[in-house]
Amino acid sequence: MFYEQLSCWYDEVFPFNPVVGDFLRSVLPAQGRILDLACGTGSHSLFLADSGWDVVGVDLEPTMIQQARAKDHHQKAVFHVRDMLQCQDMGHFDAILCLGNSLAHLMGKEQVQAFFANAVGQLRSRGHLIVQIVNFDRILAQGPVELPLIETPNLVFRRTYTPLQDGRLEFSSELTLRKRDQVYVNRIFLNPIRSGMLAGVLAQHGFSAEFYGSYKKEPFQPNSSLSLIAAASLKATQ
């Protein structure tokens, strides 16, 4: 219910950022076939399709995919409702994206390992994998963290991360629709993937990677960066 409601306002909460587009263009080859995992309403997929890529976008939430298809006026991309761990039948790709902290929704080492094993199986030689997550090193060190408030003329969006003793992270969200006087609250549990774990699992699966703290390619700082972005590629032996 929460993500169904959020999908209607997703592009207002998270509008496409041209800085992200510039980053993707700088770390990806000029063209090829790309898989956008957990693509949301498809903003990044459609940007890449407009840039000449052959794009497949998948998301587990049907209303997100409905929004993505509605935005794709010229049918430049292909969108599917699909679990991001269940895409092995979609063929091979030159690049795979997993942005928006989506990797943290995979609970346990087994699912994380499966994600990277699937990526290796689906990427062509020297293929690229771009992963963006929240900097959980900082959150786990500081304790409960409230992210910057998002306010627009139509809504207010609050988000809080709270580390739990069992190793998981509680992610609480509150979406307030101003004109409708409606409030939607959601609580889910995330897998707080530290930078060391991400670097280790990438190396284990044969990737070389550069790590950034923002889409402006600022160096990753475990104690202060808001994001952790890995721009990885399969080594030549893969």
pLDDT band, very low/low/confident/very high, at 1 (cuts 50, 70, 90) = low
Per-residue pLDDT tens over the stretch 109-164: 999 999 999 999 999 999 999 999 999 999 999 989 998 999 999 999 999 999 99
State pLDDT tens for residues 192-234: 999 999 999 999 999 999 999 999 999 999 999 999 999 999 9
- How far is the C-alpha of 181 from the C-alpha of 159, rounded, in Å? 19
pTM of the model: 0.95
Q: At residue 86, does pLDDT exceed 90?
A: yes
Q: How far apart are CA 155 and CA 48, in angstroms?
A: 28
Please tell me the distance from the alpha carbon of residue 193 to that of residue 201, in angstroms, as a whole number. Answer: 11
